Amino acid sequence: MTGLRSKIARTTINKILDTLSDDDYFNIISYSTQPLYIDKCSNRTLIQANIKNKERLKEAVKDVEIKKIAHLDRALEEAFALLDVARSDGEGTQCNQAIMIISDGSPDTYGEVFEKWNRPNITVRVFTYLIGREVKDSREVSLIACANKGYESFVCQI
């Protein structure tokens, strides 16, 4: 994801962060070869969505290097593991959990990951944001959201 798609992805992340309140907890994981928390201080933990933390991560998003290889399955494993630990340790508000995927397409629905972490009860909702006008692999991204009580969005411009 490069050029305008990269800019749209960063703007989408910022808009999602703007919807969070002090009662929410979050983190941002970039994914290429390996999942990477964009803020080293909040590695493998959920952080409160207060103004200071949201602004810090908005700044960190600017420095994320977007590469051609995207191993979404590894990022999903990391995100589910993070939420699982938070749920078992009583971190966060313990209300609803969600994963937001921002992508320009996916060659797979990663059914085995969702089967392992989100079945049979689907405790984590998955929302997908598909970036770009002429995207490939949109069907898979749609199926990911649909199969996990989420919603898909197409983001074409800023």
Identify the domain containing residue 134 by its residue range.
Answer: 3-155
CATH of the domain at 117: 3.40.50.410
**Which pTM does this prediction carry?**
0.91
Provide the residue-wise pLDDT of the chain in tens; the chain has 158 residues.
678 888 999 999 999 999 999 999 999 999 888 899 999 888 889 999 999 999 999 999 998 877 767 889 999 999 999 999 998 887 766 689 999 999 988 888 999 999 999 999 999 999 999 998 766 668 899 999 999 999 999 888 65
Measured between alpha carbons, how far is 117 from 78 in angstroms, rounded to an integer?
11
114: left (phi over 0), alpha (psi -120 to 50) or beta: alpha
**CA torsion 9→122→148→79, rounded to 10°?**
20
How many domains are contained in the chain?
1
